[in-house]
Structure 1
């Protein structure tokens, strides 16, 4: 069975049909740049470009980089335009995609759902936390495989700063930090999250999951097991499609 998944990020909008039996993309993903400013209408146009690229006419699952309540209403917009707040995202995307059935879910939650079903979190009990390091830091918290949605742990305060402003992948790039220097920031962040939630497993997702060997060896002193996401940066697309299936 295939359903289309779209992952909306702060820098790119990417999507592809997903084989839900295999938990993987059924075709090479297509990506367009996230517009700036990333207003609802502009982002919806980008999503339409991605979906139209495949001529897709079935259900579509979409991620959003913020809190989404009731499967539709956007409550936060840290890395997109603030005009998203209180937008009915499902209605917007349904209209722009010509009435196709649409499901909207937080981006990190989608990635976490995919990793727990098909990747690094499969079969793991206890507390599992997936963290996506990209434009910001997204989080997905699981207890015995059950998602606690919209946790937004990237906005924890760390040494007087919003954590994602110090430890996101964008912070590394903007600060021109070495992988080792950035890993020390990530370590401090993980230690803070570990103190609060005592997870058995951290899964590191986002684009940096492809480069885990560059920084994970420098992350020391964390009691929980730390592994890169197995689905890497496709996890959000897969999880979005999973949620669209219901």
Structure 2
């Protein structure tokens, strides 16, 4: 079975579960711990480690964050502490979870959009699609024929001098 452990860092909770990568389904229960306040990189990474340890998972991990992520670097911080900006997520999570572990990091809404293309509505695979997530904040993924235009963060556009979210 092709599995990984998925972690979603949210503004109010950090969730984790083993995921079947062929079906997109959870394999067992989801673990949720409240997002530490303040949600600094070190505090969040320690909470991610706590979830992974609770699950007794030793394989690959995919982590989503509410941030623009480019080349594993965080370029924004939505609903997490501003100290995330400029953080090398690869270094941060490997330091907490082990240097030999395979870890992938992605914007949270981008991951949800890609999951919709892979496992959800057939219409998401063709044409122009805007995928929105609603939680502590508003996330977005723009897709064209199933291909992602990363890090759109439409909820954080400025409208009349204020963040749209």
Residues 172-187 of structure 1 correspond to what in structure 2 (within 5 A)?
A: none
TM-score by length of 2: 0.94
Q: What is the alpha-carbon distance in structure 2 between the residues aligned to residue 122 and residue 12 of structure 1? A: 30
Q: What are the ranges of 5 or more consecutive residues in structure 1 without an aligned counterpart? A: 165-246
Is 2:116–2:124's contact at 8 Å kept on the other side of the alignment?
no
Q: What is the alpha-carbon distance in structure 1 between the residues aligned to residue 134 and residue 94 of structure 2? A: 29
Residues 1-246 of structure 1 correspond to what in structure 2 (within 5 A)?
A: 1-70=2-71, 72-99=72-99, 100-121=101-122, 124-158=125-159, 160-164=161-165
Deviation at 1:119, TM superposition (A): 1.0
Count of residues in Structure 1 that have an aligned counterpart in Structure 2 = 163
The structure where strand makes up a greater share of residues is 2
Deviation at 1:120, TM superposition (A): 2.5
Q: What is the alpha-carbon distance in structure 2 between the residues aligned to residue 22 and residue 126 of structure 1? A: 23
Q: How has the CA–CA distance of structure 1 residues 46 and 122 changed in structure 2, closer, same or farther, with 3 Å as cutoff?
A: farther
Q: What is the alpha-carbon distance in structure 2 between the residues aligned to residue 93 and residue 159 of structure 1? A: 37
Q: What is the alpha-carbon distance in structure 2 between the residues aligned to residue 149 and residue 90 of structure 1? A: 18
Is 2:5–2:17's contact at 8 Å kept on the other side of the alignment?
yes
Deviation at 1:22, TM superposition (A): 1.4
Q: What is the alpha-carbon distance in structure 2 between the residues aligned to residue 122 and residue 28 of structure 1? A: 29
TM-score by length of 1: 0.64
Query: What SS does the aligned partner of 1:63 have?
Result: strand
Is 2:4–2:20's contact at 8 Å kept on the other side of the alignment?
yes
Q: How has the CA–CA distance of structure 1 residues 57 and 81 changed in structure 2, closer, same or farther, with 3 Å as cutoff?
A: same
Deviating 4+ runs (over 4 angstroms): none
CA RMSD in angstroms, aligned pairs only: 1.3
